[in-house]
Chains A and B, each alone.
Chain A
Amino acid sequence: MTTIVVLTAGVSQPSSTRLLADRLAEATRRRLQASGDEPRIEVVELREYARDLANHFVTGFPSASLRAVLDEVADADAVIAVTPIFSASYSGLFKMFFDVLDPTTLVGKPVLIAATGGTARHSLALDHALRPLFAYLRAVVLPTGVYAATEDWASDGDLRTRIDRAAKELAAALGLTVTVPTSRTDAGSSDVFADVLPFERLLAGPGTS
Chain B
Amino acid sequence: MQFGIFSVGDVTTDPTNGRTPTEAERIKAMVAIALKAEEVGLDVFATGEHHNPPFVPSSPTTMLGFIAAQTEKIILSTSTTLITTNDPVKIAEDYSMLQHLADGRVDLMMGRGNTGPVYPWFGQDIRNGIALAIENYNLLHRLWREDVVDWEGQFRTPLQGFTSTPRPLDGVPPFVWHGSIRSPEIAEQAAFYGDGFFANHIFWPTTHFQRLVEFYRSRYEHYGHGSADQAIVGLGGQVFIRKNSQDAVREFRPYFDNAPVYGHGPSLEEFTSQTPLTVGSPQQVIERTLTFREHFGDYQRQLFLADHAGLPLQTVLEQLDILGEEVIPVLRKEFDALRPAHVPDGPTHAALVAQAHGARAVAASDSDSDAALEVSAR
Contact = CB atoms under 8 A, between A and B. Distances in A.
Contact of B188 (A55, A60, A199): A199
Interface string A34-69: 000000000000000000001101111101100000
A59 B184 contact: no
A192 B185 CA distance: 9
B188 A198 contact: yes
Interface string A164-195: 00000000000000000000000000001100
Given A205-B131, A205-B135, A58 B265 contact: yes
Nearest to B131: A206
A197 interface: yes
Interface string B250-274: 0000000000011111100011001
B335 interface: no
A60 B275 CA distance: 12
Interface residues of A, number: 19
A203 interface: yes
A193 B208 contact: no
A199 B192 contact: yes
Contacts of B135: 203, 205
Given A193-B184, A197-B185, A203-B138, A57 B265 contact: yes
B266 A55 contact: yes
Contacts of A203: 134-135, 138
B215 interface: yes
A196 B265 contact: no
A135 interface: no
A74 to B, nearest CB: 16
B56 to A, nearest CB: 24
Given A192-B182, A205-B135, A59 B188 contact: no
Nearest to A194: B184
Contacts of A61: 203-205, 208, 274
How many B residues are at the interface, by size bracket?
A: 20 to 34
B211 interface: yes
Contacts of B131: 205-206
Contact of A59 (B211, B215, B266): B266
Given A60-B204, A193-B184, A199 B264 contact: no
A205 B152 CA distance: 12
B130 A59 contact: no
Given A192-B182, A197-B185, A202 B134 contact: yes
A196 B263 contact: no
A189 B362 CA distance: 46
B154 interface: yes
B188 A202 contact: yes
A199 B189 contact: yes
A198 B270 CA distance: 38
Contacts of B182: 192
Contacts of B263: 58
A196 B204 contact: no
Nearest to A196: B184
A203 B223 CA distance: 15
A202 B266 contact: no
Nearest to B127: A206
B34 to A, nearest CB: 29
Contacts of A57: 265
B262 A59 contact: yes
Contacts of B265: 54-55, 57-59
Contacts of A58: 262-266
A192 B270 CA distance: 27
B223 to A, nearest CB: 8
B139 to A, nearest CB: 11
23 contacts: A55-B265, A55-B266, A58-B262, A58-B266, A59-B203, A59-B261, A59-B262, A60-B204, A61-B205, A192-B182, A192-B183, A192-B184, A193-B215, A196-B185, A197-B188, A198-B188, A199-B188, A202-B130, A203-B134, A205-B134, A205-B135, A205-B154, A206-B131
Given A196-B185, A199-B191, A205-B135, 18 more contacts: A54-B265, A55-B266, A55-B270, A58-B262, A58-B263, A59-B203, A59-B204, A59-B261, A59-B265, A60-B204, A63-B274, A64-B274, A192-B183, A197-B188, A199-B188, A202-B185, A202-B188, A205-B131
CB-based closest 6 A-B pairs: A58-B265, A199-B192, A55-B266, A196-B184, A55-B265, A61-B204
Interface of B: 128, 130-131, 134-135, 138, 154, 182-185, 188-189, 191-192, 203-205, 208, 211, 215, 223, 261-266, 270-271, 274
Interface of A: 54-55, 57-61, 63-64, 192-193, 196-199, 202-203, 205-206
